[in-house]
């Protein structure tokens, strides 16, 4: 019976991953919430266990998560938690928002993974999935997209590096680390920053669709041979700069490995 841990499970992709795995009776799902109680809309299936008060802005988030799991071994962990505040050069950057974006996306995951490994919750054969974004690819950034969004893009690029470095640390332990772009999604997060106007043209998916594509790829394809790599399981379809930067004849269909 596999145990799945979803960090950042209360909405969007995280909530969709919880529902996807909860539909498999032989799977036990552990889901984190920043608040002191599960969300009111949470999946209440018997095989879903909520771990509350896990705040990625807290230095003790990893220790608290490990303690909440009480030595339960985890087969696959998805770290989906994120925060997106838009920034514009003409208006200036936002210090507090940048701290929150970098901490949530690229600092907290290091502490979480280190604590789970040190507590023997992640052992040989485990998979670590860091949910990044194609926006973290420096190669794919192009002038047609413009500047701004410094910390959102920067924190995802930092997460990519975190994943790469962790893959070196954990390779001889038999633990695989994947860095994934889950696809452009129709979530409250993208709507909240005004990206809903691009949903149709950008081929944005519902979180449930993106979760299924990603989970099937992780469960069926991802292993130690791909550790430390940066992938888009859905492919290039929602990566607006792909054809301009990479060429129209590359990555036409199916999962693609993204450039750093």
Q: What is the mean pLDDT of residues 81-91?
A: 90
CA distances from 240 to 54, 121, 132 (A): 34, 38, 16
Q: What confidence score (pLDDT) does residue 68 get?
A: 98
Q: What is the mean pLDDT of residues 181-198?
A: 71
φ/ψ (deg, to 5) at 127: -120, 135
- Residue 186 pLDDT class (50, 70, 90 cuts): confident
Q: What is the mean pLDDT of residues 71-78?
A: 98
How many percent of the chain have pLDDT more than 70?
92
Q: pLDDT tens digit string along 113-126? A: 999 999 999 999 99
Residue 122 DSSP class: S
Q: What is the mean pLDDT of residues 36-58?
A: 87
Count of alpha carbons within 13 angstroms of residue 181, beta-carbon side? 27
Q: What topology is assigned to 3-257 in CATH?
A: Rossmann fold (3.40.50)
**Residue boundaries of the structural domains of the chain:** 3-257
Find tokens 């859905």 and name the residue.
234
Q: What confidence score (pLDDT) does residue 243 get?
A: 87
Q: What is the mean pLDDT of residues 11-25?
A: 95
Q: What is the mean pLDDT of residues 9-38?
A: 94
* 12/8 Cα distance (integer angstroms): 9
* 11/1 Cα distance (integer angstroms): 25
Q: What confidence score (pLDDT) does residue 67 get?
A: 98
Q: Where are the beta strands (DSSP E) in 205-251?
A: 230-232
Indicate the range of 13-17, 175-179, 241-245 predicted with least confidence: 241-245
Q: What confidence score (pLDDT) does residue 38 get?
A: 84
Provide the mean pLDDT of the chain.
92
* 3 state DSSP class of 130: strand
User: Is the per-residue pLDDT at 42 higher than 70?
Assistant: no
Q: What is the mean pLDDT of residues 106-113?
A: 98
Q: What is the mean pLDDT of residues 37-46?
A: 76
Q: What is the mean pLDDT of residues 222-233?
A: 98
């Amino acid at each position: 019976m596999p145990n799945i841990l979803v960090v950042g499970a209360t909405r969007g992709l995280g909530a969709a991953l919880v529902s996807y795995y909860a539909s498999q009776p032989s799977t036990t799902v552990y889901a984190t919430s920043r608040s002191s109680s599960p969300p009111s809309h949470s999946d209440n299936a018997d095989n879903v266990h909520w771990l509350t008060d896990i705040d990625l802005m807290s230095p003790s988030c990893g220790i608290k998560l490990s303690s909440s799991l009480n030595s339960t071994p985890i087969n696959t962990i998805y770290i989906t938690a994120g925060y997106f505040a838009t920034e514009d050069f003409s208006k200036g950057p936002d210090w507090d928002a940048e701290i929150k974006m970098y901490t949530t996306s690229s600092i907290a995951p290091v502490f979480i993974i280190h604590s789970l490994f040190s507590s023997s919750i992640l052992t040989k054969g485990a998979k670590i999935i860091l949910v990044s974004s194609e926006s973290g690819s420096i190669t794919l950034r192009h002038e047609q997209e413009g500047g701004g969004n410094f910390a959102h893009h920067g924190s995802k690029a930092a997460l990519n590096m975190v994943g790469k470095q962790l893959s070196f640390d954990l390779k001889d332990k038999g633990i695989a680390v994947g860095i994934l772009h889950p696809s452009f999604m129709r979530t409250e997060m993208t709507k909240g920053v005004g990206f809903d106007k691009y949903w149709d043209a950008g081929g944005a998916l519902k979180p449930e669709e993106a979760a299924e594509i990603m989970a099937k790829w992780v469960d069926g394809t991802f292993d130690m041979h791909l550790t430390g790599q940066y992938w888009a399981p859905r492919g290039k379809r929602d990566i607006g700069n792909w054809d301009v930067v990479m060429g129209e004849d590359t990555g036409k269909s199916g999962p693609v490995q993204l450039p750093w």
